[in-house]
Structure 1
Amino acid sequence: MRRLPIRSLTGLAVIGLLAVTGCGTDTRTDSARDAAATGAGRTIRAQEVMRLTEVHPETGMTLLEGPTFDANGALVVVDVTAPAGKPKVLRVDVRKKTSRPLHTDDRGAYTSAQYSPYDGRIYLTDFSHGEIVSLAPDGSDPRTFFSGRVDGAPMNPDDLAFDQDGDLYISDSRGMSEGKAVGRVVRIDREGRNATVLAGGLAAPNGISFDSEYRGLWVSELTQNRVSYLLLDDRGGVASQHTAIRVDGGIAQTDSIAVDADGNLYQALHGRPAMAVYDRHGERLATVEVPARAADGLESATNVAITPGGTKAYMTVSGPAGGYLYSFDAPAEGVRQSNGG
């Protein structure tokens, strides 16, 4: 999730990575090598699919996030700043270019959505209230999965990723508004009983995604414009951690992350309606951009979901002009980690 301005957070009651390389061997796939050959100058033009939301008078914003595909191929999207009673989770039929409300409530500020491989429910991060909420696939039966302090400190859960067993890995952006590097990566077991801090001292961690082999986690740090890589051990703990990619974003900052079948990273940019695409070795492959003629009034590309088994990608883009879906052809196929967490 891109970061809300401090004034917006105050004004809303609800808004209160060692790149995996072979030893001396180029392990990239043919598609990644071909893309790298064109250099960072390659531009992928995204095309408008539809406008999903307008600016809410109550909050002065709309902010789409957390695109993720359900088992039937429908796209689920959250609107972070939707007020009470307005759709906070939407289900989108991208072929028909229609959407319908899936869930609303009177308090949640949901910044990401993911389907659990363990129980099939939708899990939402409530940034403002430090909670993880789950829904039945049809949007009914809301439950508080986790709430409370972790190691004595409250959470500001931003994005989340599931491991193959259904345990949750969460970017905790606490300290963001103060500019302090006290953010964390938190692991919560699939039953919601045990929460553990895996890494601390992070600068407003935002995007989080497993690599394509589930060996480690990519974590973007918004206020440092960098992506860290956390190599995991066989117990789900962190074996090592280092800065893997430094993102030259200019005025834009690192938002959410998705990963495709070839291990490429899709780094969303807060402050620019674009995404930077890197291979697992940190080489910039391309930049996904909204056409200049359509970019007026669009400030951020927050996240992306790539069709499972296909290359059609859907990017959430927002600004004063509204909340939009844009599509583009991704360099490789979508997998579970291609649903932006």
Structure 2
Amino acid sequence: MRKNLLASLCLAFSAGVLQAHADAIPTLNYPAEGQQLQAIGSPEKELPTVTADLWLKVSDGPLQLEGPSFDRAGNLLFVEVFGGQVLKVDPEKKLSVVVPKNALGSAGLAIHKDGRLFVAGLGNFENTGNLTAYKPDGSGKQVIIPASKNHLVDDLVFDSTGGFYFTDFKGTSTQPTGGVYYVPAGGKTIVSILPNLAIANGIALSPDGKTLWVTEFATGLLHRIELKDAKTIAPFGEAVVYRFSGPSPDSMRVDQDGNLYVALYSQGRVLVLNPNGLPIGQILIPGREKGHFLRSTSMALKPDTNEVYLVSNDGSLGEGSAIFRAKGFANAAKLYSHQ
């Protein structure tokens, strides 16, 4: 009798344990910090990291800032994409308008060695893309690439001869119709360098002018292009050297050591890669972990310093648009536009 009772108790206990295990389904839980929507993936989260300081609030509304570049007088110029205007911050941090609002859809800015402002324009993002030049005071408007050429000019970089490379902001991740083009000094021809890209976006040139960098916004790819000459890729000279995690690589700049600074749009940070395209550090925008100022589009390195100025906006979260500042690895490259 006692034997049967003990057996019954054991069976009941086992059934209870099994039922408890059945009820305790293995469950994923967010960490104590919450969902961490802006968490940085491994291995990038282990990189040397700094958080930038707020340098200047530009607007209360979420202006889409782009293309920051320093002129020889130390002014920081940049564009506002959807309004088309060119803005300037002088060394005393006074903000002014150089080119008023227009329909050109300014998306990038580079300063020619003669002082002219070359403004890349997406127009209506369909068929009015352009490249337009202005004198330093915003006068003397000159169309360099008209809409009739059928390019959505997003960004550009000059070489040592006065020619320039530009990105064509077209396509999708499954229909890569964008590309990279070169315009020799004088602007008479447009030469295809790298076709079939999925929204070609950022572009940069190494300090020696021999390596061209390009990001694809829609696929998250970084292209490293070794040039035989200005119009020709060297044999076996083109490779995808990095695939970014999450959205989306935007504009780029280089320092004098050849390191590449890439703004990551929708992430509120800048990733820094060495001349071989391997990540070596990052700059974060304050508040990004709570979703603020994620629309980081571009940055400028201040000449003769290692100061990095990042432009971003806060989208619908109410903190407007701003410029942030941190220090990078090396001084700004001696860009051809400033020779």
> Would you say same fold, with TM above 0.5?
yes
* CA–CA distance in structure 2, aligned partners of residues 40 and 212 of structure 1: 28
* CA–CA distance in structure 2, aligned partners of residues 289 and 79 of structure 1: 22
* CA–CA distance in structure 1, aligned partners of residues 214 and 269 of structure 2: 18
C-alpha distance after superposition, 1:6-44 (max 9, x if no partner): xxxxxxxxxxxxxxxxxxxxxxxxxxxxxxxx9942211
Match of 2:130 in 1: 131
| Kept in 2: contact 1:40–1:287 (CA 8 A) | no
Matching of residue 214 in structure 1 with residue 213 in structure 2 = no
Match of 2:103 in 1: 107
Matching of residue 325 in structure 1 with residue 289 in structure 2 = no
Q: Secondary structure at the match of 1:300?
A: coil
Match of 1:76 in 2: 77
Q: Secondary structure at the match of 2:229?
A: coil
Match of 2:274 in 1: 279
Matching of residue 46 in structure 1 with residue 52 in structure 2 = yes
C-alpha distance after superposition, 1:22-77 (max 9, x if no partner): xxxxxxxxxxxxxxxx994221110001111232xxxxx52000000011011001
Match of 2:66 in 1: 65
Match of 2:196 in 1: 201
CA 259–112 in structure 1, closer or farther in 2 if over 3 Å, else same: same
CA 210–293 in structure 1, closer or farther in 2 if over 3 Å, else same: closer
Name the amino acid aligned to 2:58.
L
| Kept in 2: contact 1:312–1:330 (CA 8 A) | yes
Match of 2:28 in 1: none
| Kept in 2: contact 1:273–1:295 (CA 8 A) | no
* CA–CA distance in structure 2, aligned partners of residues 293 and 188 of structure 1: 38
Name the amino acid aligned to 2:240.
T
C-alpha distance after superposition, 1:201-236 (max 9, x if no partner): 112110001012100210001111111011111353
* CA–CA distance in structure 1, aligned partners of residues 276 and 77 of structure 2: 31
| Kept in 2: contact 1:173–1:184 (CA 8 A) | yes
CA 199–294 in structure 1, closer or farther in 2 if over 3 Å, else same: closer
Name the amino acid aligned to 2:279.
R
Correspondent of 1:334 among 326, 332, 335: 332
* CA–CA distance in structure 1, aligned partners of residues 122 and 79 of structure 2: 12
| Kept in 1: contact 2:160–2:336 (CA 8 A) | no
| Kept in 2: contact 1:40–1:285 (CA 8 A) | no
What CA RMSD, in Å, does the superposition of the two structures yield over aligned residues?
2.2
Match of 2:243 in 1: 246
Matching of residue 183 in structure 1 with residue 182 in structure 2 = no
| Pairwise CA distance, 1:179 | 4.8
* CA–CA distance in structure 2, aligned partners of residues 214 and 41 of structure 1: 28
Q: Which has the bigger relative contact order, CA under 8 A and spacing at least 6?
A: 1
* Unaligned 5+ runs, structure 2: 1-43
| Kept in 2: contact 1:39–1:286 (CA 8 A) | no
| Kept in 2: contact 1:212–1:337 (CA 8 A) | yes
Match of 1:265 in 2: 260
Matching of residue 166 in structure 1 with residue 162 in structure 2 = yes
CA 338–116 in structure 1, closer or farther in 2 if over 3 Å, else same: closer
* CA–CA distance in structure 2, aligned partners of residues 99 and 287 of structure 1: 28
User: Which of the two has higher C-alpha Rg?
Assistant: 2
| Kept in 1: contact 2:86–2:100 (CA 8 A) | yes
Larger relative helix fraction: 2
| Pairwise CA distance, 1:296 | 4.3
C-alpha distance after superposition, 1:231-287 (max 9, x if no partner): 111353222311012222x2x211111110000010101111111011112221111
| Pairwise CA distance, 1:297 | 3.6
